[in-house]
Copies of this chain bind each other. A is one copy, B any other.
Amino acid sequence: MIMTNSKPRRPTKPRLSAFAAQLLEQWRRLAMPTSEANIIVAVSGGADSTALLLALNELIKTDKLQLDLTVAHLDHGLRPESRKDALWVKELAQGLGFDVAVARANLKTAPGAKKKSENLEQAARKARYEFLFKTAVKKHADYVLTAHTLDDQAETILMRLIRGSAAEGLSGTPAIRRLKSDADVLLVRPLIAWAHRGDTEEYCRVHQIDFRLDEMNEDEGFSRVRVRKQLLPLMKSFNNRVVEALSRTANLLNEDAEALANEADRLLELALVESKNIETKVPSLSVSVLLQSPAAVRRRALREWILRSRGDLKRLEMVHLVAVEKLLEGDRGGRIAELPDGLKVTRKRGMLELSGKKGLKMRPVTTRIRWG
C-alpha cells in the first residue's frame, strides 16, 4: 500500500468479515431493528445456524448491531447424539454471552407422527416452530431467525416444482413472514436470499468452530436430501449457478403472485354480494363480475373467498377450483361443485353460494407480509 499521506496511523478496528458484512446489508434491506430488540435465533448446531449465530455475534461485538439475542434449540430426541448437540449449542451460546432456551420434544409419541420419515420430518418441524413461538412470547421477542440458505431455497422450489405447484408455491420460502397467522411475531430468514451452504461452512471453519453434523441431513429417505444430493448436483452440471437461477425465478414469480393476489382482492370486493343465506353468513359472488377477469385473477379470488369463509385451505386442490370455475360457464343455475369436508358451491340466480358446513363466515383479509 502506497501512503500518499504521512499522518500517523490510527489504530484500526478489526475489519468486518465478508459474511457478516453481507448479513448486515441484508439486515438493513429487510428493515430489521439495529438496536433495542429481543431476537430469538434458532440454532441446531449445523453449519448454517452456527454461522448465523457467529456472524450476529461479530456484528454485535463490532457494535454494528445492539441486540439481545436468545439462542433457541429444540432437541427432537430422534438421534442418540441429539443430547450432545443440545449441550454443544448451549455451551457455544453461553460462551458468547447469550441467553439460551433448550427444550426436548417427544416426537415418537406425538399424535401427528406416523412411521413414514416424511411425516416424522413434518412433526419435527411443527414442534420446532411451536417451541420457537413459545420462546419468543416468553422473551418478549418480535423476531425469530432461522438460518435457511439459498441452497435450501433452491431445494424447496424444486420440491414444489416436482409436485406441479403454481406461482405461489414456486415463489419459495419468504425472507420474512408472520410466524403464526394470528400473532405479530415475525419469522425472518436473513441468509435465504444470498448465503450458500458453502459460505456458512467456510465461515465456521475460519472461526475454528467445529459445527455439528445432522444425520437427518444425510438420510436419502427424505426427498429433500435426495434433491440436495442428487437433483441439484445434476442440474449444476447444466448451469453451475442454477441455485441463483432458481432463486431469481422464485423472486420474479413471487412478484407476479403478489400483483395477481392484489388484483384478486379487488375482484373479490367487486364480486361480493350480501347474501341472505342465514345458514352460512358468507356473502355470495356475482357470476357476471367474476367473468370479467382473466382466469389467473378469478381463480385466486375464488381461493381467497374459500379461505376467508372457511378459515383455512386444508385439502383444497386445484381440481376443486377448476370445478367451481366450471359453474361459471353457460347460463344454467342449480349446479353444484363439491369441495373437501362436505363444503359445496352452488350456482343460483347468477350467484355462487358457499354452504354445507357450520361456522362459515367471512373473515377479514389477512395481511400478506413477504419480501425478499
Contact = CB atoms under 8 A, between A and B. Distances in A.
B238 A234 contact: no
A166 B248 CA distance: 8
Interface in A211-243: 223, 226-227, 230-231, 234-235, 237-239, 242
A103 B259 CA distance: 49
Contacts of A252: 166-167, 296, 318
Nearest to A318: B248
A364 interface: no
Contacts of A164: 239, 242, 244-246, 248-249
Contacts of A246: 161, 164
A247 to B, nearest CB: 8
B253 A167 contact: yes
Contacts of A244: 164
Contacts of A163: 239, 245
A239 B162 contact: yes
A46 to B, nearest CB: 24
A297 interface: yes
A256 interface: yes
A268 to B, nearest CB: 15
SS of A interface (majority): helix
A106 interface: no
Contacts of A245: 161-164
Contacts of A65: none
A145 to B, nearest CB: 26
Contact of A238 (B162, B165, B259, B263): B162
| Total copies of the chain | 2
Contacts of A259: 260, 263, 293-297
Contacts of A260: 256, 259-260, 296
A141 interface: no
Interface in A271-325: 293-297, 299, 318
Interface string A50-61: 000000000000
A147 interface: no
A167 B256 contact: yes
A315 B258 CA distance: 28
Nearest to A294: B259
Interface in A61-90: none
Nearest to A230: B234
16 contacts: A161-B161, A164-B246, A164-B248, A165-B249, A166-B252, A167-B167, A167-B256, A231-B235, A252-B296, A253-B253, A256-B260, A256-B296, A259-B294, A260-B296, A262-B294, A263-B263
Q: Ordered nearest first, which 8 A-B pairs have the shortest CB separation?
A: A164-B245, A259-B296, A259-B294, A255-B296, A166-B252, A164-B248, A256-B296, A162-B238
Given A164-B242, A166-B249, A259-B260, 12 more contacts: A162-B238, A162-B239, A162-B245, A164-B245, A166-B252, A166-B253, A170-B249, A223-B238, A226-B237, A248-B318, A255-B295, A259-B296
